[in-house]
Amino acid sequence: MKICAVDFKDNHANICLLTKDNDVFDIPDCRQQRFTVQSINSREDLIAFQFAFKKLMEDYGVDRVVIAERISNGKHAAKMPTFKLEAILQVCEDLVVELIPISVEKQWLKRCPPAIEFKHTGLKPFQEKAFATAYAYLSH
């Protein structure tokens, strides 16, 4: 199974592709690691983001998109643009998108932590959260 985990920060969608086949994990090369929406209030920019994301998923044969839920209120609440970007991905036709509660992701990672330190994955530092979400999802 090939998945794409997405971590939202402000107007960025940081992604990590991960596959699991016969209990072997692989991080495939990907032409893009981050999507940036210049103006979160621009209809054209949002449509362009959705199109580019969907095209990338089609090109790489992604089976599922996984997003860790974010906190919507309180001191550590996620910012409004991230919820807009998430909603845009959720309504993409032909994409299976799953939201994973943070508490569930933490349980999965506690039960089965990654066998490799993040710094040895070859991914960029901004992809760390997306990698953790992808690994947690595929290891449960």
CATH number for the domain harbouring residue 99: 3.30.420.10
Domain count, the chain: 1
Residue 74 confidence class, pLDDT cut points 50, 70, 90: confident
Cα→Cα distances 121→8, 61, 78, Å: 20, 21, 27
- Is the pLDDT at 75 greater than 90? The verdict is no
CA distance 45 to 1: 30
Residue 78 confidence class, pLDDT cut points 50, 70, 90: confident
The whole-number pLDDT of residue 111 equals 96
Matching residue, tokens 């970007």: 85
Mean pLDDT of the chain: 95
Residue 70 confidence class, pLDDT cut points 50, 70, 90: confident
Give me the mean pLDDT over the 112-119 stretch. 94
Expressed as residue numbers, the domain containing 134 is 2-139
- Is the pLDDT at 71 greater than 80? The verdict is no
